[in-house]
Chains A and B, each alone.
Chain A
Amino acid sequence: MADIPEHLLKRAQAAREKAETEQPVDEQPSSEPAETDTAVAVVEEEVIDVDEKAEKTLNKIIEGLGEKVLSSHIAPNRGLWIRVSSENWRQTAQFLHDELDCTFFDWLSVIDWMPSPYGRELDTEQDIEPEQDSTEPEQMEWGYTGGDTRFQLICRVYSISNGIGIMVKADLDNQSPRALSLIPIYPGANWHEREAREMFGVTFDEHPDLRNIYLPGDFEGHPLRKDYPLLSRRMKPWPGIVDVEAMPGEDK
Chain B
Amino acid sequence: MSITTENEQLAYIASQAADARVNVEVETDEGMTLNLGPQHPATHGTLRIIAKLDGEKVVAAEPIMGYMHRGYEKLTEVRTYPQVTTLINRIDWLGSFANEVPFILAAEQLMEVEAPPRAQWIRTILFELSRIANVCLFLGDMAVQVGATTPVFYAFRDREFVLNQIERVTGGRFHPNFDRIGGLKDDLPKGWIEETRGALDRMKSFCDEMEELVLGNEIFQARTRNIGVIPGDVALSYGLSGANLRASGVDWDIRRDANVGLVYDQVDWKVWTHPDGDSFARFWVRLQETREACNIIEQLLGSIPSGPIMAKVPRIIKVPEGEAYVATENPLGEMGYYVVSKGDLTPFRVKIRSASFSNMSITPWILKDVFVPDIISILASLYFILGDIDR
Contact = CB atoms under 8 A, between A and B. Distances in A.
Interface of A: 75, 78-79, 81, 103-107, 109, 111-112, 116, 120, 122, 141, 143-144, 154, 156, 160, 163, 165, 167, 185-188, 190-192, 199, 212-216, 223-224, 230, 233, 238, 240
A200 to B, nearest CB: 11
B239 A111 contact: no
Nearest to A161: B252
Contact of B237 (A78, A103, A214, A233): A103
A105 B344 contact: no
Interface in B230-281: 233-234, 236-240, 250, 252, 257-258
Interface stretch (B162-170, B288-296, B317-325): B317-325
B324 A78 contact: yes
Interface stretch (B67-75, B144-152, B176-184): B67-75
Given A109-B338, A116-B77, A104 B239 contact: yes
A120 B237 contact: no
Contacts of B69: 214-215
Contact of B74 (A167, A190, A223): A223
Contacts of A112: 349
Contacts of A106: 239, 327, 334, 336, 353
A188 B237 contact: yes
A230 B74 contact: yes
A185 B239 CA distance: 12
B334 A122 contact: no
Contact of A103 (B80, B236, B344): B236
A108 B323 CA distance: 15
Contact of B80 (A78, A81, A122): A122
A191 B338 contact: no
Given A106-B353, A223-B71, A230-B74, 6 more contacts: A103-B236, A109-B338, A144-B322, A215-B69, A223-B74, A230-B75
Query: Taking each of B77, B344, B345, which has the highest tally of chain A beta carbons within 10 Å of its own beta carbon?
Result: B77
21 contacts: A75-B323, A103-B233, A103-B236, A104-B239, A106-B334, A107-B239, A107-B338, A107-B358, A111-B340, A111-B349, A112-B349, A120-B344, A141-B342, A154-B351, A156-B338, A187-B234, A188-B239, A188-B358, A199-B73, A230-B78, A240-B83
Given A79-B324, A120-B344, A144-B322, A105 B66 contact: no
B325 A120 contact: no
B344 A143 contact: no
A186 B362 CA distance: 11
Given A111-B340, A120-B346, A187 B351 contact: no
Given A111-B349, A154-B338, A187 B80 contact: no
B325 A186 contact: no
B74 A213 contact: no
B65 interface: yes
Interface in B164-207: none
Q: Which 4 residue pairs across A and B have the least CB separation, nearest first? A: A214-B66, A188-B238, A188-B239, A214-B69
A185 B334 CA distance: 21
A59 to B, nearest CB: 21
A143 B77 CA distance: 16
Contacts of B334: 106
A121 B321 CA distance: 18
A215 B71 CA distance: 10
Interface string B331-349: 0001010101010111001
Contacts of B358: 105, 107, 188, 191
B71 A213 contact: no
A143 to B, nearest CB: 5
Nearest to A105: B239
B314 to A, nearest CB: 16
B390 interface: yes
B336 to A, nearest CB: 7
A187 B323 contact: no
B324 A188 contact: no
Q: By CB atoms of chain A within 10 A, which of B65, B109, B338, B346 has the most?
A: B338
Contacts of B258: 163, 165
B365 interface: yes
Given A107-B239, A224-B73, A160 B362 contact: no
A143 B239 contact: no
Given A79-B324, A120-B346, A107 B353 contact: yes
B357 A163 contact: no
A121 B318 CA distance: 14
A229 B69 CA distance: 17
B361 interface: yes
Contacts of A186: 237-239
B3 to A, nearest CB: 18
A230 B74 CA distance: 8
B78 A144 contact: no
Contacts of A224: 73-74
A188 B362 contact: yes
